[in-house]
Amino acid sequence: MGASNTSYLDNNADIKNAGFEFNLRWKDKVGEFNYAIGGNLALNRNEVVGLRPGTVGIYGGYVNFFPTTYTTVGQSIGQFYGRQVVGIFQNKAEIDNYKTSAGQVIQPGAQPGDFKFADINNDGVINDYDRVF
């Protein structure tokens, strides 16, 4: 309709849900004392098995305007999607020694105490192309 800042709902994905739920409960009475003990165990998983043609993955779970989840084929709905932390820089020497095979420092702006992120695509730059599920 030409309106801005609107959203709509549509069936754009095929989802496979599988799992089980187990509930156990015991009720008893001892004299005038009634009691019940119970528990519930559930294991449920889902997987996006198909997206409607023309539909791209769905970003969500925003923190400081950056998406933290991504829904796409082969993953669960709202799967966490971000940079892989491989450690915490302890000192300046560790930062300076985190280099590519060509000798380029990968996180030159890091400070001791910052996360050390994996350079997934081996381009020497930590950016959105280094995010993983």
In the structure, what pLDDT confidence band is assigned to residue 1 with cuts at 50, 70 and 90? very low
**Residue 125, SS3?**
coil
Among the listed ranges 8-12, 63-67, 81-85, 91-95, which one has the minimum average pLDDT value?
A: 8-12
Examine residue 65 and state whether it is found in any structural domain, yes or no: no
Report yes or no on 14 lying in a domain. yes
Residue range 52-65, pLDDT digits in tens: 888 888 888 888 88
79 in any annotated domain: no
17 vs 15: CA distance, rounded Å: 6
Four-residue CA torsion sign, 3, 4, 7, 8: positive
Structural domains in the chain (count): 1
* pTM of the full structure: 0.67
Question: Is residue 6, in this structure, part of any structural domain at all?
Answer: yes
Judge whether 17 lies within some domain. Answer: yes
Q: Is residue 89 part of a domain?
A: no
pLDDT at 94: 97
Domain range for 23 is: 1-56
In-domain check, residue 107: no
At residue 38, the 3 state secondary structure works out as strand
